[in-house]
Amino acid sequence: MAGLVRKSLDTPDEVRPFEEGKGKLELVSLAGGPVGRATFEPGWKWSEHIKPLAGTESCMAAHTGYFVSGRMKIVMDDGESMEFGPGDFLTVAPGHDAWVLGDEPCVVIDWQGYGDYAKP
pTM: 0.91
Taking only the tens place, the pLDDT of each residue in 32-64 is 899 999 999 999 999 998 898 888 999 999 999
Report whether pLDDT(1) > 70.
no
The domains of the chain, with CATH numbers, are 29-110 (2.60.120.10)
pLDDT tens per residue across span 64-87? 999 999 999 999 999 999 999 999
Model confidence pLDDT, tens digit, residues 86-118:
999 999 999 999 999 999 999 999 998 888 877
Phi, psi of 19 (to 5 degrees): -55, 145
